[in-house]
């Protein structure tokens, strides 16, 4: 809580429709965000119990700087992932952090299962468990519209919701946050679905007096200046992350057609530049960020003969243009947007969906699965068949789609094809085939995301790839990001929020931490997540990388399996030693 030395946690019991509020002084040293959310998961999760069991918790946390400093826009969710069976963490922007702040809470813990489909309304004055039966089955957009119209508070509320995929417990279903942002990966949508929780609306008018306006606003303006005048953040506003398509293509690092290639002959046709030229209609921000990196692309779709057109606007980013574009051999921007739209409405994670479809395309060609399974002619570049398949995944229409609705980890157990299943640490691959640091990084990252430690960044800027340096980088970067994500700072501003800026901002709101405190936090959060992973049965012993990643060249040429395995071993040894030291030190 602003100005207080505790974390105000709202506990919601969906089974009994009851809530409880606790002021947790003991959690204050974890600041917020990933730190607090990981600790709350540690104490509320049930080991040896199915991730989708009603006793499992769902946690969302914000931090002490949320919304009141520029680009501190994220909320962090933690849960037991139904996709990987272990630690689940996801970040989302939009209006959620502001809404939770204004409702007067720092964190929300949800347990139990509602008797019937429900949506929660949480404000500074009320907590309501509302009937969502009529919304069950509605897509993301309709659900949002219905809640918008039924509930008060336009402009200041956050509405987070699942689609059919989450209702049907697809393990890579997502939670849509305010239309254009998401808690995307690791199956948080299914966690909502398993609790009969269709949506949440959060808003508030909590009185949040500023203790030292002069110091606060001075620091705010300093950071604001850095954000809006630094060139590091400008690229996120101009073309946005879609600029990566041409860049990665030019250095042979753009995963294409299930990574059969690392350059795409149609990269220019679906580049960020082409999207901007043909489809970009506006840019939107998350609340509290003056950059505006959300790029909205519009396309016309002919839905019937007789010149019948509709217009669709969806947000697009590099990961989507990769997973639902180059990875599937899609050749035009309109088609990519069409596939994105289908994935959005169903409430699926874009990256995992794309990688699953790419695998299925090859599996079909190789005869591991049949046309009877896929019900669609999956072929690279064939947009409409992929659109069909996406609906089939969300609706789990037959045994095949039910199985692939649990991700590639499960699909290959039944159908084979693990050599070309693009998985890192049990999670589908992100859009950078840059080299060893990326491959290692996404595998060992706590939430199996390329953003855990941004190995792809090291791969690009290194003059030479050195083993010890790679290990150092991956560990230290993930620890630094533990600080950033505990403060809910959007990672796009990581260069603005160096240690001294972070401390300035904390001091300006009366949190007198030192640089050592931040280092302590980094280690505590990094190792707490590892502790949770171990308790949930996670291990990288006997881990095997998929063959495909060694067959297609990266920007450094083809990777060598022996070297990558050696790097993994080195990483594990280093981290296990540090983990032991940390555990003893507690």
Partner 1 sequence: MPKVLRADNMNKCLGCFTCMLTCAAVNHNNHNLAKSSIKVKTRGGLQSKFAATVCVACKEPACAEACPTNALVKRPGGGVKLIEEKCIACEKCVSACIVGSIHMDYDRKIPIVCKHCGACVRMCPHNCLSMEEVSE
Partner 2 sequence: MKIGVEVNSFFSRYGSRIGKMEIEIDQNTNVEKLLENLNIPKDKVGFVVVNQKRVDFSYVLSENDSVYITPYATGG
Task: Indicate which single residue of 246, 266, 283, 563 sits in contact with partner 2 (rule: CB under 8 A).
Answer: 246
- Maximum Cα interatomic distance, the chain, rounded to a whole number of Å: 73
Vertex 518: Cα angle to 516 and 521 (nearest 5): 110
Site track 200-239 with partner 2 (rule: CB under 8 A), x = hit: -------------------------------x--xx--xx
Q: Nearest-CA neighbor of 177 among 188, 167, 186?
A: 188
Task: Indicate which single residue of 79, 180, 264, 458 sits in contact with partner 1 (rule: CB under 8 A).
Answer: 180
Q: Which residues contact 372 (CB under 8 A, 6 or more apart)?
A: none
CB 564 within 8 A of CB 545: yes
Residues 532-571 that bind partner 2 (CB under 8 A): 555
Partner whose footprint covers residue 460, from partner 1, partner 2, none (CB < 5 to 8 Å by kind): partner 2
Closest separation between CB of residue 213 and partner 1, Å? 6
Closest separation between CB of residue 399 and partner 1, Å? 37
Closest separation between CB of residue 199 and partner 1, Å? 14
Q: Considering only the stretches 36-44, 209-217, 455-463, 560-568, report the one whose residues sit in contact with partner 2 under the rule CB under 8 A.
A: 455-463
Site size with partner 1, rule: CB under 8 A: 42
DSSP string, 408-476: HHHHHHHH--GGG--EETTEE--S----HHHHHHHHHSTT--TTTT-HHHHHHH-SS--HHHHHHHHHH
- What 3-state DSSP class applies to 127? strand
Partner whose footprint covers residue 431, from partner 1, partner 2, none (CB < 5 to 8 Å by kind): partner 2
142 part of the interface to partner 2, by CB under 8 A: no
Q: Nearest-CA neighbor of 436 among 526, 549, 548?
A: 549
Closest separation between CB of residue 277 and partner 2, Å? 11
454 part of the interface to partner 2, by CB under 8 A: yes
Angstrom distance (rounded) from CA 296 to CA 275: 10
Report the DSSP beta bridge partners of residue 88. Answer: 79
- What 3-state DSSP class applies to 518? helix
296 part of the interface to partner 2, by CB under 8 A: no
* Structure-block tokens of residue 175: 């939670």
379 part of the interface to partner 2, by CB under 8 A: no
* Structure-block tokens of residue 203: 């808003």
Closest separation between CB of residue 317 and partner 1, Å? 16
Task: Indicate which single residue of 220, 513, 543, 582 sits in contact with partner 1 (rule: CB under 8 A).
Answer: 220
Locus of tokens 């921007």: 333
Angstrom distance (rounded) from CA 346 to CA 395: 9
148 part of the interface to partner 1, by CB under 8 A: yes
Cβ-based nearer residue to partner 1, 146 or 267: 146
493 part of the interface to partner 1, by CB under 8 A: no
Closest separation between CB of residue 313 and partner 2, Å? 19
210 part of the interface to partner 1, by CB under 8 A: yes
3-state secondary structure 95-158: CHHHHHHHHCCCEEEEECCCCCCEEEEECCCCEEEEECHHHCCCCHHHHHHHHHHHCCCCCCCE
Residues 239-298 that bind partner 1 (CB under 8 A): 282-292
Cα distances from 124 to residues 97, 103, 161, in angstroms, run: 14, 4, 20
Closest separation between CB of residue 519 and partner 2, Å? 23
Locus of tokens 């580049």: 271
318 part of the interface to partner 2, by CB under 8 A: yes
- What 3-state DSSP class applies to 7? strand
Closest separation between CB of residue 70 and partner 1, Å? 8
CA 380 from chain center: how many Å?
A: 26
Cβ-based nearer residue to partner 1, 287 or 555: 287
Task: Indicate which single residue of 42, 151, 206, 395 sits in contact with partner 1 (rule: CB under 8 A).
Answer: 206
Locus of tokens 């037959």: 398
C-alpha atoms less than 13 angstroms from C-alpha of 581 in its C-beta half-sphere: 7
Partner whose footprint covers residue 376, from partner 1, partner 2, none (CB < 5 to 8 Å by kind): none
Closest separation between CB of residue 511 and partner 1, Å? 14
- Phi and psi angles of residue 576, each rounded to the nearest 5 degrees, phi first: -60, -40
CB 345 within 8 A of CB 357: no
Task: Indicate which single residue of 457, 538, 543, 572 sits in contact with partner 2 (rule: CB under 8 A).
Answer: 457
Instruction: Identify the DSSP state of 240.
Output: -
Closest separation between CB of residue 251 and partner 2, Å? 6
Cβ-based nearer residue to partner 2, 28 or 264: 264
102 part of the interface to partner 1, by CB under 8 A: yes
CB 87 within 8 A of CB 447: yes
Closest separation between CB of residue 377 and partner 1, Å? 32
If residue 202 lies in a helix (H) or strand (E), which one and from where to where?
A: strand 197-202
Angstrom distance (rounded) from CA 317 to CA 304: 29
Cβ-based nearer residue to partner 1, 154 or 367: 154
* Structure-block tokens of residue 560: 């060598």
* Structure-block tokens of residue 347: 């409430």
Partner whose footprint covers residue 313, from partner 2, partner 1, none (CB < 5 to 8 Å by kind): partner 1
Residues 521-580 that bind partner 1 (CB under 8 A): none
Query: Which spans of this chain sit near partner 2 (rule: CB under 8 A)?
Result: 231, 234-235, 238-241, 243-244, 246-248, 250-251, 253, 263, 273, 317-319, 431-432, 450-451, 454, 456-457, 460-461, 491-492, 555
Binding site for partner 1 (CB under 8 A): 2, 67-68, 70, 98, 101-102, 141, 144-145, 148, 154-156, 178-180, 204-210, 213, 216-217, 220, 224, 228, 282-292, 313
């Amino acid at each position: 809580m602003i100005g207080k030395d505790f974390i105000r946690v709202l506990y919601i019991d969906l089974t009994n429709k009851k809530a409880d509020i606790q002021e947790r002084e003991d959690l204050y040293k974890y600041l917020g965000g990933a730190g607090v959310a990981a600790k709350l998961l540690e104490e509320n999760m049930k080991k040896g119990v199915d991730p989708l069991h009603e006793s499992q918790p769902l946690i969302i946390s914000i931090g002490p700087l949320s919304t009141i400093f520029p680009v501190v826009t994220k909320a962090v969710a933690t849960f037991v992932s139904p996709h990987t069976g272990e630690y689940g963490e996801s970040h989302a922007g939009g209006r959620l952090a502001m809404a939770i702040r204004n409702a007067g809470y720092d964190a929300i813990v949800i347990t139990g299962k509602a008797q019937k489909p429900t949506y929660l309304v949480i404000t500074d004055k009320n907590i309501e468990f509302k009937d969502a039966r009529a919304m069950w089955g509605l897509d993301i957009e309709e659900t949002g519209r219905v809640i918008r119209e039924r509930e008060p508070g336009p402009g200041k509320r956050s509405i987070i919701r699942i689609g059919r995929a989450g209702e049907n417990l697809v393990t890579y279903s997502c939670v849509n946050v305010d239309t254009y942002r998401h808690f995307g990966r690791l199956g948080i949508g299914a966690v909502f679905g398993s609790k009969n929780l269709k949506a949440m609306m959060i808003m508030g008018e909590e009185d949040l007096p500023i203790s030292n306006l002069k110091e606060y606003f001075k620091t705010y303006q300093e950071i604001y200046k850095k954000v809006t005048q630094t060139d590091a953040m400008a690229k996120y506003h101009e073309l946005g992350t879609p600029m990566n398509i041409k860049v990665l293509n030019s250095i042979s690092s753009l995963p294409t057609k299930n990574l059969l290639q690392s350059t795409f002959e149609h990269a220019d046709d679906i580049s960020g530049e082409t999207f901007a030229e043909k489809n970009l209609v506006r840019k939107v921000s998350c609340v509290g960020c003056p950059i505006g990196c959300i790029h909205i692309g519009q396309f016309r779709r002919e839905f019937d003969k007789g010149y019948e057109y509709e217009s669709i606007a969806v947000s697009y980013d590099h990961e989507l243009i990769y997973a639902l574009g180059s990875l599937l051999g899609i050749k035009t921007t309109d088609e990519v947007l069409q596939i994105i739209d289908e994935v959005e409405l169903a409430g699926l994670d874009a990256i995992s969906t794309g990688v699953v479809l790419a695998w299925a395309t090859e599996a079909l060609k190789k005869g591991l699965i049949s046309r009877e399974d896929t019900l669609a002619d999956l072929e690279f570049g064939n947009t409409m068949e992929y659109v069909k398949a996406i609906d089939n995944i969300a609706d789990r229409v037959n045994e095949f789609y039910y199985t692939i609705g649990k991700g590639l980890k499960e699909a290959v157990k039944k159908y084979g094809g693990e050599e070309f299943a693009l998985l890192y640490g049990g999670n589908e691959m992100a859009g950078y085939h840059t080299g060893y640091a990326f491959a290692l990084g996404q595998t060992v990252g706590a939430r199996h995301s390329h953003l855990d430690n941004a190995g792809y960044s090291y791969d690009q800027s290194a003059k030479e790839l050195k083993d010890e340096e790679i290990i150092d980088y991956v560990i230290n970067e993930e620890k630094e990001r533990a600080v950033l994500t505990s403060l809910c700072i959007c990672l796009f501003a990581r260069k603005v929020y160096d240690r001294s800026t972070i401390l300035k901002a904390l001091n300006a709101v009366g949190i007198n931490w030192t640089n050592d405190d931040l280092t302590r936090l980094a280690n505590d959060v990094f190792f707490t997540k590892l502790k949770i992973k171990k308790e949930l049965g996670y291990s990288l012993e006997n881990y095997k990388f998929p063959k495909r990643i060694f067959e297609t060249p990266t920007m450094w040429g083809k990777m060598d399996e022996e070297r990558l395995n050696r790097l993994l071993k080195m990483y594990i040894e280093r981290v296990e030693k540090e983990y032991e030291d940390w555990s003893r030190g507690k």
